Amino acid sequence: MGRAPCCDKANVKRGPWSPEEDAKLKEYMEKHGTGGNWIALPQKAGLNRCGKSCRLRWLNYLRPNIKHGEFSELEDSIICALFTNIGSRWSVIAAQLPGRTDNDIKNYWNTKLKKKLMEKAITGGNYYANPNKGSPFIDGTSSPPSMAPEQQHNLWIPTQQVPFNSSSSSSLPATTLQSCNPYLQEAASCSPLDLYSSLFDHKQAPDRNLQGFSSSPYYENDAIIGGNTVPLYYNYSTVAVPVAAEDLGFMYNPTTPYIIDQSWFDQ
DNA sequence: AACGTTGCCAACCGCAGCCTG
DNA sequence: CCAGGCTGCGGTTGGCAACGT
């Protein structure tokens, strides 16, 4: 026997909400709130709707301070950074963007942002480190800058080196993510392989020559790219950046967190 | 103008986890 | 401890609008 349905689907209205229904729900919510029970709410509010439908309508459209319309560059960056870290946990991502709903962000990611990043990664090649494009470092040199921790705080989103773990089932420790990302306030984990395949599907970017992830314990935080084992980076100001081995050699130092200026990626 | 395709987004569905009796 | 109910979440879908042929 399966789960009992939350409502009688045959006898409740479905599909788009009318202005009258919106007004009823809004008025009821403003006066009474959910009363802790979404299932009972439609009847009390005089709506012929499923409780889940009411909840969705309220959360995604009617509740106060919902922000609709274009996403800003900063919002783009935050979404990318968080998606990179925690994957498709839209509710967690939405919690970091006041006024945005998880549904909105999910739609935005699936229809626009993912495409935008893909285009940059594949056609522009601007999202991976390449010394020929100039310095990736904020001081304009070709080597990692030495930067005091207090200086690092001046950057709007810090870029830091965080180890990948090669196992798709494993997670990064929440403390690591929290300490690296000021926008992440709750415990989170991610699957690097999920992240990697979703953002940079190497079938669509064969020129990156990604061959897989190392299984060696010593190199468990690394990826095998172009036949070389190289470390992978999280970049909190844009996206995870798989870099070609030859590009990476000059910037890899396993003990130094690197700060990369956002503008470099936009060249 | 008609038709097909693509993009977008609101809404739905089913599952997992939490809560409560 | 367990079963059932409810909520929240993420994936998916349906329908409309815009665009292309």
pLDDT at A224: 31
Nearest nt to the CA of A37 via C1' is C6
**Which tens digit of pLDDT belongs to each residue from A117-139?**
665 544 433 333 333 333 333 33
At A189, list the tokens. Answer: 């984990």
Question: Chain C: nucleotides under 7 Å from a protein CB?
Answer: 5-12, 15
pLDDT of amino acid A7: 66
8 Å CB contact between A100 and A75? yes
Asked if A231 and A254 count as a contact pair (C-beta separation under 8 A), the reply is yes
Q: Is A106 left (phi over 0), alpha (psi -120 to 50) or beta?
A: alpha
List the A77 CA – C9 C1' distance (angstroms): 23
Count other Cβ atoms within 10 Å, centred on residue A199.
Answer: 20
Mean pLDDT by 10 residues, chain A (267 residues): 53 86 89 82 88 90 86 76 72 83 89 70 35 33 34 25 30 28 26 32 28 26 32 30 28 26 31
Statement: the pTM of the whole predicted model exceeds 0.75: no
> Taking Cα atoms as reference points, which of A255, A2, A28, A4 lies closest to residue A144?
A255
Q: Closest nucleotide to residue A68 (Cα to C1')? A: B9
Of A117, A112, A97, the residue nearest A195 (C-alpha): A117
Cα–Cα separations (whole angstroms), residue A19 to A22, A30, A62, A203: 5, 16, 11, 46
Q: Strand B nucleotides below 7 A of a protein CB?
A: 7-15
| Annotated domain spans of chain A | 19-61, 73-265
Each residue's pLDDT tens digit, A8-47: 666 788 888 988 898 999 898 888 887 778 888 888 888 8
Output phi, psi for A222, to 5 deg: -110, 170
Q: Taking the C1' atom of C14, which residue's CA lies nearest?
A: A15
User: How many Å apart are A164 CA and C1 C1'?
Assistant: 40
**Whose CB is within 7 A of strand B?**
A 3, 9, 14-17, 50, 52-53, 56-57, 60-61, 68, 103-104, 106-108, 111-112, 115
Q: What per-residue confidence (pLDDT) applies to A193?
A: 33
